[in-house]
Amino acid sequence: MASETESEGLAFHPMDQFIVRPLFGGETVHWYTPTNATLWMALTILAVVLFFVTGTRGRAIVPSRIQSIAELGYGFVHKMVEDVAGKDALKFFPYIFTLFCFIVFSNFLGLLPRAFTTTSHIAVTAVMAVAVFLTVTIVGFVKNGAAFLGLFWVSSAPLALRPVLALIEVISYFVRPVSHSIRLAGNMMAGHAVIKVFAAFAPLVLISGIGVVVTPLSIIAITAMYGLEILVAFIQAYVFTILTCVYLKDALHPHH
């Protein structure tokens, strides 16, 4: 009896929040089914439109609050692209800014209670990372031709070391999309799962005497993790964007 209440009360399902469910009933998830992932992506689009279209409608010289946030984001990413990837990378700015906006708004929307974090799914981040990888590779070959392969041939190293370094460079080049996508998804997943685990401890006060100690601790831990997650939500979007810029710089200027 007690065992049953406890296993019901302290239910550790940290991964259940990531399950993709059809939005309007039904069981099977077809490729076109509107799911909770669809809903939160739609909310992301809505947030982007709200900030960057509705917020800037006034075109004020002295900006309103939302407009100044939009300008801040624009300036932030614009400067990042210009500083890291160079002036000639600015024609990729809308592309990079799209990725940044999607990630940052998905991350922050995913922090709302009961929300679904689209960026915690490998499928989502892998598509973005592979898109970046393909773009960078294609741009590199189109811009530089075969000279792009010079990226792997470290001419500043001793001659004997170069083949080894070339092998390492090639491997690290192809690992890029993997680490690029798993970093984002893993960070999001880890933080949310940890919050969920702490949250599962919180109702212990209803079941057992030890809960008098455990419950406040878990609530404090959830608060602390939430603060950390707010930081991580932004930093991961920043890191994804800046790595995209770094890869783009390699494609545009492949010489070490």
Partner 1 sequence: MEGDIVQMGAYIGAGLACMGMGGAAVGVGNVAGNFLAGALRNPSAAAGQTATLFIGIAFAEALGIFSFLVALLLMFAV
Partner 2 sequence: MANSTEPAAEAVTGAATEAAGHVAEAAGHVAEKAGMPQLDFATFPNQIFWLVVALVMIYLVLSRVALPRIGGILADRQGTITNDLAAAEDLKASALAAEKAYEQALVDARAEAQKIIAEARAVIQAEVDEATAHADAEIAARAAESERRIGEIRASAVDSVREVARDTAAALVAALGGSVDAKAIATAVTARLKG
| Contact residues: partner 1, CB under 8 A | 15, 80, 83-84, 179, 182-183, 186-187, 189-190, 193, 235, 238-239, 242-243, 246
**Binding partner of 179, given partner 1, partner 2, none, CB within 5-8 angstroms per partner class:** partner 1
Q: Could you tell me if 245 and 100 are in contact, meaning their C-beta atoms sit under 8 angstroms apart?
A: no
- Degrees, nearest 5: CA angle 84-106-19: 130
Shortest CB 82 distance to partner 1, Å? 12
Q: Based on the shown chain and the rule CB under 8 A, indicate whether residue 185 belongs to the binding site for partner 2.
A: yes
**Binding partner of 83, given partner 2, partner 1, none, CB within 5-8 angstroms per partner class:** partner 1
Q: CA 23, CA 156: separation in Å to the nearest integer?
A: 56
Q: CA 150, CA 76: separation in Å to the nearest integer?
A: 31
CA-nearest of 56, 48, 55, 53 to 102 is 48
Q: Based on the shown chain and the rule CB under 8 A, indicate whether residue 93 belongs to the binding site for partner 2.
A: yes
Give the residue with the Cβ less far from partner 2, 111 or 185: 185
* Neighbouring residues of 61: CB distance < 8 A, sequence distance ≥ 6: none
Q: Based on the shown chain and the rule CB under 8 A, indicate whether residue 90 belongs to the binding site for partner 2.
A: no
Q: CA 26, CA 155: separation in Å to the nearest integer?
A: 59
Residues numbered 1 to 30 that lie near partner 2 (CB under 8 A) are 2-3, 5-7, 10, 12-13, 15-16, 18-20, 28-30
Q: Based on the shown chain and the rule CB under 8 A, indicate whether residue 42 belongs to the binding site for partner 2.
A: yes
Q: CA 236, CA 92: separation in Å to the nearest integer?
A: 20
Segment contacting partner 2 (CB under 8 A): 80-88, 157-165, 173-181, 202-210?
Answer: 202-210
